[in-house]
Amino acid sequence: MSDRTPGVSGPVVGIVGHGYVVARPFGDLPVTGTPPTYVEALAACGARPVLLPGGRASELLDLVDGLVLTGGGDLDPALHGGESGAAADVDRARDDAEIALVHEARRAGVPLLGVCRGLQVLAVAFGGSLAAGIGHRLPLEGHPVATAPRSLVRGLLGERVVTSALHDQAAVEVAPCWRPTAWADDGTVEAIEWAAGDWPALGVQWHPELTWHADLDDRTGPALFGWLREAAAMRAREPRARTLVRS
């Protein structure tokens, strides 16, 4: 039985792509893409991953059952009251597009998993603030993270888990609509969950899509992407209007 189309299994989960510049023999080529580890992570848990062009993703929400906001560069400090110059690889157009997308996803009830920068986008979109210079750069050996009792991440991952770490920004304050539910040993917020419970939305500060790296101790990927797959499958089974845009 399909979650959406007869004969095809698995909910459709959109990975929000963003701009890269690829050096080619004829010159630099702007492209929209995402690391293939996100595709592999979703496919491994039974979802059907599709790439959404970042600047147009809000227009395509009716085509997907779930969303992933991926990692990437720092958010513009001007968006959250941070210090100017304390961020790297800033793409303000991406920031604005993803913040707008988060609000559209909230209104539409589209299940969402924010990864690393994705958590930060979720926090800032609702008025939260970030700290810079965290310097958690342990992508392979990772670091321990403790989860809150009666939280989604506690149910998925247990009381304490080792996660990857590769970020310089982290959420400091979040709006009341978000509940921090995991922390590194130095107090860094490592997960936030939508507090009202009426939107399946979760942000994690680490990189669960790297679980499939042979040298990585982080084993959180199947649980987190599996959660998104199940939430997306539930949405796919809900009767709702969809609009197909034809040229």
What is the side-by-side strand order in the sheet with 160-167? 48-52, 12-16, 66-69, 112-115, 201-204, 189-194, 178-184, 136-147, 160-167
- The verdict on whether 209 is a catalytic residue reads yes
Whether 207 is a known active-site residue: answer yes
Candidates 45, 116, 136, 143; catalytic one: 116
Q: Which of 98, 190, 193, 209 is catalytic?
A: 209
Alpha carbon distances (Å) from 40 to 13, 49, 176, 224, 245:
12, 8, 34, 13, 28
Does 143 qualify as catalytic in the annotation?
no
Catalytic positions, written as ranges: 116, 207, 209
